[in-house]
Amino acid sequence: MHKLTIGWMYPDLLNLHGERGSVQALVRAAENLGLEAQVRRVEEPEGEIPLDELDLLLYLPGEIRTLAMLREALRPQEEKLKQYVEQGGTVVAIGTAGLLFGKETLRRDGSRVEGLGLLDLTAAERELVWGDDLHVLLTDTKQELVGCQISMADVETPTPLGRTLYGRGNNGAGAEGARYRNLIYTNCLGPLFVKNPWFAEAILKDIVLHKLGVEQKRPNALADKSFDTTVRFIETKK
């Protein structure tokens, strides 16, 4: 069986909104593709990220204050991370974790949190949190994502991941998430990959096709039903 290593980035720091479930869902999605997935927890912010050994870096939502600390901690390996992304390495950032990869986040107190600048994205912390369902059409694959979002910041980007069919997305204007090469940012929670295992499989397929050329898929009935009922509920709100 082919092996895949998922880097779960800073699990004790980035773990809001139940998104640790996405780690489990990635493992299951890998199994559906006939792969053996290994999760490697990358714990220490100042520790060197073993980029050569990781097939995917998964950043889950965290507190904006934590992102500021992480940005500073990552400064010594900023170039390596950039190189990883430029060479097609896969990074998925969910919720506020996406701000870490943007250029800058303006906080309510007027301070600015610098990002890694790998995404052409700026953000402004919201005065009030916005939580709602989210239904998204992905630009590249035309896949649909469904879930919800807890928005702490409004985001501006010229390179969205998709457009909203329902929900606020980046800032209420129709754009959702951001993408640069295989660096993917989405606001969609659920956990993301539990509710949208097809998205997890698509990401993993990109990795394994690039690496191994494997493809297999089993249906996920529970997630299909979850998708249908959530979309039906969203339709009642339009």
Partner 1 sequence: MRFLLTLWLSKLAAFFVHLVKRNRGTISSGWLATRLMPDFVAHFRGIDCDKVVFITGTNGKSTTTNMVYRTLLSAGRTAACNTEGANMMTGVATVLIKNSTWGGRFNREFLVLEADERSLPGIRRVLPGRHVAVTNLEKDQDQRNGDPDLIYRKLEGAVGPDVTLYLNNEEPRSSALAQRAGQAVFFSVAENDRAFAWHDSYAVTLPCPLCGHPIRFERHNLAGIGPFRCTRCGHASGSAPQVLLTDVDYDAGTFRCGGRQFSVSYTDPFYLYNFALVMAVGRNLGLTEDELAAAFRAFENPVSHDQVFHLRGKEIRYLQGKQENPEALQSELDVIARDPRRKAVAVGMYKVTDFQPHYAGSFYFFDCDFAAIAQGDVAAYVAFSETVCYDLAARMIYAGAPEDKVTALDTDDPGPVLELLEKTDAPVIYILTNTKHFGLISDYILTHGGTRDA
Q: Which of 5, 31, 34, 39 binds partner 1 (CB under 8 A)?
A: 39
Q: Which of 190, 193, 211 is nearest to 202 (CA)?
A: 193
d(CA 103, CA 95): 16
Our finding on whether 5 is near partner 1 (CB under 8 A) is no
User: Are the beta carbons of 215 and 151 closer than 8 angstroms?
Assistant: no
Number of residues counted as binding partner 1 (CB under 8 A)? 53
In the complex, the smallest distance separating the C-beta of residue 134 from partner 1, rounded to whole angstroms, is 9
Our finding on whether 69 is near partner 1 (CB under 8 A) is yes
Q: Which of 93, 138, 152, 200 binds partner 1 (CB under 8 A)?
A: 152
In the complex, the smallest distance separating the C-beta of residue 194 from partner 1, rounded to whole angstroms, is 5
Q: Which helix (H) or strand (E) holds 98?
A: helix 97-101
User: Who's near 87: CB < 8 A, 6+ residues apart?
Assistant: none
Q: Which helix (H) or strand (E) holds 78?
A: helix 78-86
Considering Cα of 191, then 122, then 11, then 82, what sign does the dihedral take?
positive
Our finding on whether 66 is near partner 1 (CB under 8 A) is yes
Q: Which residues ranging from 179 to 208 are in contact with partner 1 (CB under 8 A)?
A: 189-191, 194-195
- Give the residues lining the site for partner 1 (CB under 8 A): 10-13, 15-21, 23-25, 28, 39, 41, 43-45, 61-66, 68-70, 96, 129, 131-133, 147-148, 150, 152, 189-191, 194-195, 222-223, 225-226, 229-230, 232-234, 237
